[in-house]
Amino acid sequence: MSHEDLTQTPLPADGGFEVHLAQRGQTYQVPADQSILRVLSDAGVDLPFACEQGVCGTCLTKVVAGQPDHWDMFLTPEEQAANDQMLICCSRSQTARLVLDL
């Protein structure tokens, strides 16, 4: 298992996961008590956002790999089920790694 694909691995028990930004080639650790948006903003990644409550859709981001855990009220159930986009201010991950188109 030298090349374990964490985008296929269930979320660890501590609730933390890693986010890889495909365009920037950077990986960040997201702890259970922080949003993806907060982690990236704190790291200096400048991203658009507004409500931070999963309502406005401003932080909509394309998902390249991994499975989001949708907590927003913006996407339709069908859009959420497609797992190809997510609201990074409130939604999390069901897999140990998410790859985002950022």
Number of residues that bind ligand FES (CB under 6 A): 14
Tokens (6 digits) for 19 = 């986010």
Sheet strands (E) in the chain: 17-21, 26-30, 60-65, 68-69, 85-87, 92-93, 97-100
Q: What are phi and psi of 60, to 5 degrees?
A: -55, 130
54 is an interface residue for ligand FES by CB under 6 A:
yes
Residue placing its CB nearer to ligand FES in the complex, 17 or 74:
74
Name the residue nearer to ligand FES (CB basis): 9 or 38: 38
Which range in 9-17, 19-27, 47-55, 77-85 contacts ligand FES by CB under 6 A? 47-55
Partners of 97 in beta bridges: 18
Can residue 39 be called a binding residue for ligand FES (CB under 6 A)?
no
Nearest CB to ligand FES, comparing residues 6 and 98: 98
Binding status of residue 69 toward ligand FES by CB under 6 A: no
Residues 6+ apart with CB under 8 A from 87: 54, 57, 59, 60, 61, 70, 71, 72, 74, 75
Q: Which residues bind ligand FES (CB under 6 A)?
A: 49-52, 54-59, 72, 74, 87, 89
